[in-house]
């Protein structure tokens, strides 16, 4: 890669929306680092894209493990010295049919560990690479279930709370960062992935569009906002 080429990192990049994001960012000229907790699947996915002449590499990262995230940030800094775009895509949906108060606490703990604390630690360790160059774009893949209005309805409690917290993190980090660094959240909608299932109306490519747009916004673009289908939506 050239010294002027921008670098993007996508968590959970070995399948679904994450894989499509890696592909689309590479098609837009980025060197893309595909991050995955499963080394075999991650390397295979990165190799498949590289064989299509896309500029993609792999780094192992388990977003449930802050030590793994820290090591990944060290590796990326040593190899590339920069990260221009960071997309927190990795997430889990393990809610059953039980209400929040009837669920095993471990379900909430697991969901928060991945969907909220995972994104928090990824931002915490990679933000310095953006700050040293005064530029960066962070996109948190959230959900309409994370909107405050959804808290008035029962069900899917662990997932809802994790995305509500992720939205709050987006707003708070936006208030704290300086320079041309922007962070936004996106509701990709119901997508045909392993998580969304085969009946979902959206393809991963359609879901990736607004995320890639936010990854490439200019200095006058939004910061600390929540989007769906390229339009601002209520928190």
- Active-site residue list: 159
Asked if residue 66 lies in contact with residue 123, where contact means CB atoms within 8 angstroms, the answer is no
SS3 for 64? coil
**Cα dist. 116→22, 47, 135, 161, 164 in Å?**
21, 29, 23, 9, 9
Chain center to CA of 87: 4
Asked if residue 44 lies in contact with residue 60, where contact means CB atoms within 8 angstroms, the answer is no
Q: Show the CA angle centred on residue 137, arms to residues 133 and 141, nearest 5°.
A: 150
Write down the residue that tokens 């592909």 correspond to.
Answer: 23
CA pair distance 166, 149, nearest whole angstrom? 15
CA pair distance 143, 13, nearest whole angstrom? 18
Residue 64 C-beta-side C-alpha neighbours within 13 Å:
10
What backbone phi and psi angles, to 5 degrees, belong to 15? -160, 170
CA pair distance 84, 224, nearest whole angstrom? 17
């Amino acid at each position: 890669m050239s010294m002027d080429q921008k670098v993007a990192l996508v968590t959970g990049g070995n399948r679904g929306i994450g894989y499509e994001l890696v592909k689309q960012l590479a098609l837009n000229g980025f060197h893309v680092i595909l991050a995955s907790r499963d080394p075999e699947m991650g390397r295979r996915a990165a190799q498949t894209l590289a064989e299509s002449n896309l500029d993609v590499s792999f780094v192992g990262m388990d977003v449930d493990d802050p030590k793994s995230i820290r090591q990944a940030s060290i590796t990326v800094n040593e190899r590339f010295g920069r990260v221009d775009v960071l997309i927190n895509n990795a997430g889990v949906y393990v809610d059953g049919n039980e209400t929040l108060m009837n669920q095993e606490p471990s379900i909430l703990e697991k969901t928060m560990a991945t969907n909220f604390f995972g994104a928090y630690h990824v931002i915490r360790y990679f933000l310095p690479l953006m700050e040293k160059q005064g530029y960066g774009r962070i996109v948190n893949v959230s959900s309409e279930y994370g909107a405050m209005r959804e808290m008035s309805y029962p069900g899917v409690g662990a997932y809802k709370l994790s995305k509500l917290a992720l939205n709050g993190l987006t707003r708070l980090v936006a208030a704290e960062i300086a320079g041309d660094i922007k962070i936004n959240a996106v509701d990709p909608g119901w997508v045909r992935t392993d998580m969304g299932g085969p009946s979902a109306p959206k393809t991963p490519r359609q879901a990736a569009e607004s995320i890639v747009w936010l990854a490439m916004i200019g200095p006058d673009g939004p910061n600390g906002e929540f989007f769906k289908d390229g339009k601002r939506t209520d928190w």
